[in-house]
Structure 1
Amino acid sequence: MSQTEQVARFRALHARPGAFVIPNPWDAGSARILAALGFEALATTSAGLAFSLGRPDGRGAVSREETLANAAAIVAATSLPVSADLENGFGHAPEDCAETIRAAARVGLVGGSIEDATGEADRPLYDFNQAVERVAAAAEAARALPFMLTARAENYLHGRPDLDDTIRRLQAFSKAGAEVLYAPGLTRLEDIRTLCAAVDRPVNVVMGLAGRPFTVAELAEAGVKRISLGGSLARAALGALARAGREVLAEGHFGYAAQAMTGAEAQAFMTPRG
């Protein structure tokens, strides 16, 4: 399937009724498992990648080149459309965002997100005008490609739970050309419903963070189109590893193995099909 066909397939998921879940593998192996389970599209995770490299998430700890190499491995691992967490575009200038979109398309990605977080502690978010200019540059690059741009408003992840400003930013990002809108960190269903009603593009929310874990049905009723899982699957895997290690060290037991995937099952997931 060509990249243009993959992008059309990805857009169709956003156009049909209801909501769909797009899980976030952190490497080729986890991508193969999620694809085999029946998910229809995948998205990369900056946190999952950083943790797999032994680094903290954010703070520029992972380069654009490392991010795209990881994304390319995930693209190659399955036949599913893959979107990417492209952080802040790996640079402050609008052209940095545009070049990141072009580079993402070159490795086979069908979409990706650009966020309005700077990565700087003393100025966590870009001011409104700069944030919009960056999305506009990314959108212009995406329009010249088969690529679906998501724009993220990061207020809630940076101690600024301002729903009005979040909506204002997402509305502006939509006008600038973003096809999907995303405000990670919302924890109240009524806020999610208000946001979805206030914008004219499909909305992504992330589950697996703080707050009550809403169901797919609840989120769909609130107007959500796409549900991602961020780094939560990677953290779940790391949690299982840590629990197993503590059990061995503290108790001298190996009961964790009873919950482990069998070697045969793992082998089956990793064997290419067709």
Structure 2
Amino acid sequence: MTAFHDLHRSGLLILPNAWDGASAALMRSLGAKAIATTSAGCAWSLGWPDGDVLPTERAVQMCADVVRAAQGVPVSVDFEGGYSDDPAEVAATAQQLVEAGAQGINIEDGGGSPELLAAKIAAIRAAVGGALFINARCDVWLRGVGEAETRVAEALRRGAIYQAAGADGLFTPGLTDAAGIAELTGGTDMPVNLLAYPGLPGAAELERLGVRRLSAGSGLASAAYGRTAALAKDFLQDGASEPMGDGALSWGEMNALMP
């Protein structure tokens, strides 16, 4: 087991999601206990769309960049669907992520079958052993699978399949209501991970409900790009300099964060 595993044993692990080395260094400086990546933010930062299309060599290099900037803080990589439907190929790429320093991954079922994700998880576990924390992402809420009242049961069904294949945690982005959260955490012995989302209870309530991990997802990257868009729009219109200094970190502050 790794330090990253240990962070899921009690309390609520709040995970900020980095999208490059600089954002990882910033989050480390703010005291993050662990850092995750956001597939969307990482893809955007490299000029690619999100959605399992980033070349695997770029994903592995991004992992190495974030691990270097994290300076010993555990890093978990958003592995999307593994960038392949071939479990052997997925496992080979996961091995590269481990070699690059990842202590955890998220891997999602997306629009595929639970059985396919289970096969990928089993192949990864066989390739890398028990040290890697495998967080199985169940997309029944994001994809609107079935009726709303059946989704917790479906997530628990899928979670059991993923756990049997070797998953360590269950990630259910889009679940926000307290009753559903309590039903989910009460129905599995895997640490449950939720995504920061409108309507989600606060950290103290989530911990009380039994949630063990809360991820920012692409929210921080989207906010940063939104702020950049607003500043760039003003700059392009009238060359305004002053707004760029509002809340900005100085050159020296940013440079000092880099390893």
TM over 0.5: yes
Aligned to 2:233: 246
1:174 aligns with 2:166: no
| Aligned equivalents of 2:38, 2:114: Cα separation in 1 | 25
Aligned to 2:194: 205
User: 39-48 or 98-107, which moves further after superposition?
Assistant: 98-107
Between the two proteins, the alignment pairs up a number of residues equal to: 253
**Which of 14, 23, 30 is 1:21 aligned to?**
14
Q: Superposed, which structure 2 residues align to 1:74-93 within 5 Å? A: 74-77=66-69, 78-93=71-86
Q: Give yes or no for contact 2:17–2:215 (8 Å, CA) kept in 1.
A: yes
User: 91-100 or 48-57, which moves further after superposition?
Assistant: 91-100
Aligned to 2:116: 130
Q: What is the DSSP-based 3-state SS (H/G/I as helix, E as strand, rest coil) of the residue aligned with 2:25? A: helix
Gaps of 5+ in 2: none
User: 161-170 or 216-225, which moves further after superposition?
Assistant: 161-170
Q: Scaled by the length of structure 2, what TM-score is found? A: 0.90
| Aligned equivalents of 2:191, 2:130: Cα separation in 1 | 20
**Which of 68, 93, 96 is 1:103 aligned to?**
96
1:186 aligns with 2:180: no
Q: Scaled by the length of structure 1, what TM-score is found? A: 0.86
Q: CA RMSD in A?
A: 1.8
**Which of 243, 255, 268 is 2:243 aligned to?**
255
| Aligned equivalents of 2:138, 2:130: Cα separation in 1 | 23
| Aligned equivalents of 2:47, 2:29: Cα separation in 1 | 27
1:66 aligns with 2:58: yes
Deviations, residues 153-190 of structure 1 (Å, cap 9, x unaligned): 11222232533212210122112221111111212222
| 1:127 to partner: Cα distance | 2.3
Q: Give yes or no for contact 1:105–1:146 (8 Å, CA) kept in 2.
A: no
| Aligned equivalents of 1:170, 1:181: Cα separation in 2 | 6
Taking only the aligned residue pairs, the percentage that are identical comes to: 35
Deviations, residues 26-59 of structure 1 (Å, cap 9, x unaligned): 111111110011011111111001111222211x
Q: Give yes or no for contact 2:134–2:167 (8 Å, CA) kept in 1.
A: yes
